[in-house]
Structures are given as structure tokens and as C-alpha cells.
Chains A and B, each alone.
Chain A
Amino acid sequence: MTTGFFTDSTLCIGCKACEVACKEWNDIPADPFVFSGLSYDNTLGLGHSTWRHVKFIEQEATIGAGGNAAGRITWQFSSDVCKHCENAGCLEACPTGSIVRTEFGGVYVQPDICNGCGYCVVTCPFGVVDRRPDDGRAFKCTFCYDRQIAGEQPACAKACPTGSILFGDLDELEKIADRRIATLHGAGMTDATIYNPKETSVGGTHAFFLVRGDPWAYNLPPKPEVPTTLLRPAWTAAALAAGAMAVVSLLAFAGGGRR
């Protein structure tokens, strides 16, 4: 079965239970104390020691659902996670075969294989994977592979008190998301939209989101591309350059190399 995460930002209350549950279950090192000054978000982003990250989107007031009074800011929350791309840049780029696709469709870094080359870090179009300095290996959300094998749902989904993080069969989740969008649009929240970049080279994600307004405000890139699409032009250029190098070298020596 291909499993997925459907994270509904309109149901998120910003409690960070998912962050805590993820850290506890996966035994991830603590983060240093940081006061960012950016809303209530002192986690700031996904990384080697943060596999769930609750964003606090502060914006000018928008009238509508959410209970915001006029003149006050609106506050939306959204729990971010590795997108588990259909065409995953990190997986393609991994030279050791450490990063694999699991039987549940998730993208998983095998910690006993990774040698910390760091190539996945620069090939993830969502900036999710990172190398942990004191450990040397790359880390990201495992989609709670261990829990899924045991028939359990991932720690974040289980700890979520509002159903903002739903885990289950990917196709089922997409149907749930469609119904949710219809409900929200019917209630007047017409800026609610699904973020799942299916029409890009990423080919959709197994963790997808319901957000309000422009996904970019959530640091969700509107048109992410998997870097493997660049292989053909880059290797073509490399082959031409190598051919030119060989020809130029031979010509240079053929035309009077001894002097």
C-alpha cells in the first residue's frame, strides 16, 4: 500500500505535538535554544534534527473563517514535513544507495549505509535533507518506517489532536482532501487550496498539504523541479566538452609538438 500524509493547515492549532512526538519517537537530538522573533516559530525549518516543523504564518487580517477580528492579524499554522516526492531528487542523487523507496512508497535514508557525502542536501528541491554535523550522516523524516512496519501510524499523525495530520492510504487521503476543499469553498474560504505539485517533474508528493492563499507564504515552492531533469543537458554539454578537449589536445600535438 502506498501511504501518505495529508496535512490540513486549517485544522492546525500550532500546538507542536507533532514536533515533540517526532523528536521523542525518533530520538532526535535537541535543538539549541533560539529566539527567532518570527512569530511563535523558533524551530524555523526542517533539518537534520527537525523532521516535523510547525509554521506560524502571520499575515494581515483576512475576513472569514478563523475567527479573526478586523484589525487583528491572522494566524495560520501548518505542520511541514519531508514531501516524500514521487520523483525524489535525494533518492536519485544518492551515490551509495542509502536512500531508498520503501514498500509504503516513502523515501527513506538507511542510516547504516549513508556515508555523509552531502549530495542529497543540494538535490532536494524542498530543502529538507541535511547532514548532522556531529554525526556526519544525512537525516530527514523516515515516514516512521519502523512504526509503519509494525502496523502503526507515524508518531506525528498519532499525536495530532485535531486531525490536521492525517495518515493513510494515499488515494484515500486525496479523496478526503477533495471533500475538505469542497466543504471549505462552500463555507466561503475560497482561498483554500491543495499543495501537491503533480504537474511538475517532481510528479506529486506523498505528503501533501491544504493551505490558504499562496503556498509560497508557507515556503512551499509553486513549481519545484527534480534536478534529474538537468542530467541530459548537463551530460550532453559534458560529452561535447570532453570531445573538444580530446580533439584540441590531439591537434595541438599533431601540429608541431616537438620543439
Chain B
Amino acid sequence: MRPRRPDAASERRLEELRREAESRGEVGAPGVRPSGSPLPEASAGSGYYGLPLLKPPVWTWEVPLYFFTGGAAGGAACIAFAARVTGAPERLVRDAQWVAAIGGAVSGPLLIADLGRPERFLNMLRVFKWQSPMSVGAWLLLSFGVAASAAVATRGAPRDLASGVAALAGLGMATYSGVLLGATALPVWSKHASILPPHFAASALGSAASILELLGHRGRALHKLALVAAASETVLHSLLQVSATTRLAGAFSGPIPLLLRALYGRSRRARTAAAASALLGSLLTRFAWVEAGRGSVASPPRPLRGDAARSGDAVR
């Protein structure tokens, strides 16, 4: 603000304000709220003082980390089964089954740790509810964990059966977490309800193939799988403009490994770098989505989908 010189007009205005204050006990002017309410208004435009209507998720770091481990384990079980039935090297099958089993074993405790009452985790298994993705997920995780462990603990026909069940449940593990986030009231999640499941599936498959590559498996099949996953992630992320963190995660799981693999696919080091990038991207993606959900509660003034309300548009 520039310094001003008092002049006739400015002094007249100040006199006027004093007279108004003397006569009315208060002064009103454009941009000045009446005394007693120097406050934002509750209005159709801002809602109730702009306070968020919805509650942010209460989930802590265990849940996005579980999305990562559960997804990667599911992807590994799928790879193990595909490798098995096509007669791929036994060592690859075995390692993929171990990745699935360990991932499954880590996932359960992570989910339990996030519960408000961890000692009651078995209550998840009192009921089965199709309409609750959380319930479907709990049963998926249980059957996946049992089958994936059985696949590494048994031999012969039981092992093949367990491997098949683990692969089926693993497909569920890799995709259901997208439904879990999508079928909620949070704007940024529910808006992407149909895109999150394929997005998480690509992320899961990419990270499973990457883990196996980093374990020293250099077959063409894993490279191809990781390439397809990176290509899918590139496409899906170009459709998603969610937050800076999801974009960063998208770069790590999409274009970076895609280019490394497409251009330098014969280089061992390039493939290692691509695998590491995809893993980092997948992990980051899960955290970014949970964080985006938290942020979407506060940011938009009108947070609900289907909410094209006009003024006074109450529904009876």
C-alpha cells in the first residue's frame, strides 16, 4: 500500500464513519461484516463454513503397504501358475511360489496391525458379504495365504492344486483392492471406481515380475510381462490426473520402465533399473492413492458425486 496524503475527501469520509458509529452503534460497509459476525458464512456456495462433509480414511501406513505386498504376492502366484503349466524352469516356479507365500504371510499381519482392535481380527471371518469389498478381501487373503503356503510346503498333486487356488485367489488379491477404494464415498476414489482395479492389477503384475527379475530370473517371459505392465501403467496414468504423488508414482511404474525395457531390453543393467523403478512406482502408487483419498475430503467444496445441485434443490 502506498503512503497517502490526507485530503478533504478522506477526512470527510472519516467524519462520516464517526457519525454513523455514534448514531447506530455500528458501522457497515461493503466487505465489512456487521459487528458480531466477522465470520465466514454458511452458504449454498461454501457449505457449512467450508468444513468438509466427509471423514478422511483412518488407515495408516500398513494399509497401502499391504496393497503393495498383497498385490505383488497375488501377481507372483499368477506368474508361478502360468510358469508351471507352460513348463518354465522349476527354479522360477519355485521362487514365484515363495514370493507369493511370503507376500501373503506379510500381508495378514499388516492388515491386522491397522485394525483399531487387532485382537478381534477373527471377527472378519464371522460373515461373508458380497456387498462388502473388505469382507471379500478378508476371505481372499485367507484363502490366498493358505493356498500359497501350501504350494511351497507340499509336493506332487497337492502342490499343483494349491498353486492353482493361489493363482485364482491371487488374481483377486491383485484387483480387489481397487474395488475396495473405488466403492466408497470419497470423491477421488469413487470417481475412479472402474479404473482402480486394472490400475492396481497392472501395478501388481509389474511388481511381481520385477521382484522375480531382481531375484536373478532373466527369462524373456518376465521381461515381456513387465513390459506389458509398464505399458498398461503408462496408459492408465495418462488417464489419471489425481495428485502430484500419483503422477510421480506413475512415472516410476509407467514410462521409465517402459522406455528402459523397450529401448535397452537386452541390457541386464537396464532391466534391473527398470525392475527397481517399477517396484518403487508400485509401492508409491498405493501410498499416493490413500493419501489422495485423504486430501479429497477437504479440497472440493462440493465433494459428492452426482451432486449437481441447484440452489434450493432439496430432494423429498
Which A residues contact B (CB, under 8 angstroms)?
37-39, 41, 44-45, 47, 55-60, 71-73, 89, 92-98, 113-119, 121-132, 135-138, 191, 193-200, 211, 213-219, 221-225, 227-228, 230-231, 233-242, 244-246, 248-250, 252-259
List of A residues within 8 angstroms of B307 by Cβ:
221-224
List of A residues within 8 angstroms of B178 by Cβ:
234, 237-238, 241
List of B residues within 8 angstroms of A196 by Cβ:
315-316
CB-based nearest B residue for A254: B86
Bound Cα distance from A249 to B190, whole angstroms? 29
The reply to whether B88 and A238 form a contact with Cβ atoms under 8 Å apart is no
Bound Cα distance from A249 to B37, whole angstroms? 64
Q: C-beta contact mask, B204-219 vs A, less than 8 Å → 1, else 0? A: 1100000000000001
Given contact pairs A95-B132, A124-B55, A217-B48, A245 touches B42 in the complex (Cβ within 8 A): no
The reply to whether B198 and A241 form a contact with Cβ atoms under 8 Å apart is yes
List of B residues within 8 angstroms of A60 by Cβ:
41
Given contact pairs A59-B42, A136-B117, A221 touches B126 in the complex (Cβ within 8 A): no
List of A residues within 8 angstroms of B176 by Cβ:
238
Given contact pairs A37-B39, A95-B129, A217-B47, A115 touches B116 in the complex (Cβ within 8 A): yes
Given contact pairs A223-B304, A250-B85, A257-B86, A237 touches B198 in the complex (Cβ within 8 A): yes
The reply to whether B316 and A198 form a contact with Cβ atoms under 8 Å apart is yes
Residue among B43, B132, B178 facing the most chain A CB atoms (10 A cut-off)? B132
CB distance from A177 to the nearest CB of B (A): 9
**Is B270 on the interface with A (CB-CB < 8 A)?**
no
The reply to whether A119 and B132 form a contact with Cβ atoms under 8 Å apart is yes
Given contact pairs A115-B116, A252-B221, A213 touches B44 in the complex (Cβ within 8 A): yes
Query: Of B131, B189, B201, which is within 8 A of A241 by CB?
Result: B201
Bound Cα distance from A259 to B56, whole angstroms? 49
List of B residues within 8 angstroms of A255 by Cβ:
221, 224
**Is B109 on the interface with A (CB-CB < 8 A)?**
no
CB distance from B191 to the nearest CB of A (A): 10
CB-based nearest B residue for A138: B116
Q: Which listed segment binds A: B180-188, B250-258, B280-288?
A: B180-188
Given contact pairs A57-B48, A59-B42, A249-B225, A242 touches B174 in the complex (Cβ within 8 A): yes
Bound Cα distance from A221 to B83, whole angstroms? 51
Bound Cα distance from A215 to B315, whole angstroms? 10
The reply to whether A117 and B124 form a contact with Cβ atoms under 8 Å apart is yes
CB-based nearest B residue for A89: B185
Query: Of B44, B54, B117, B171, which is within 8 A of A245 by CB?
Result: B171
Q: List 13 A-B contacts (CB under 8 A).
A: A58-B39, A94-B129, A116-B117, A122-B54, A129-B55, A193-B314, A216-B309, A221-B307, A225-B185, A225-B304, A241-B198, A249-B82, A252-B221
The reply to whether A213 and B316 form a contact with Cβ atoms under 8 Å apart is no
**Is B28 on the interface with A (CB-CB < 8 A)?**
yes
Query: Of B43, B129, B194, which is within 8 A of A217 by CB?
Result: B43
**Is B166 on the interface with A (CB-CB < 8 A)?**
no
The reply to whether B197 and A191 form a contact with Cβ atoms under 8 Å apart is no
The reply to whether B78 and A130 form a contact with Cβ atoms under 8 Å apart is no
Bound Cα distance from A128 to B183, whole angstroms? 17
List of A residues within 8 angstroms of B201 by Cβ:
238, 241-242, 244-245
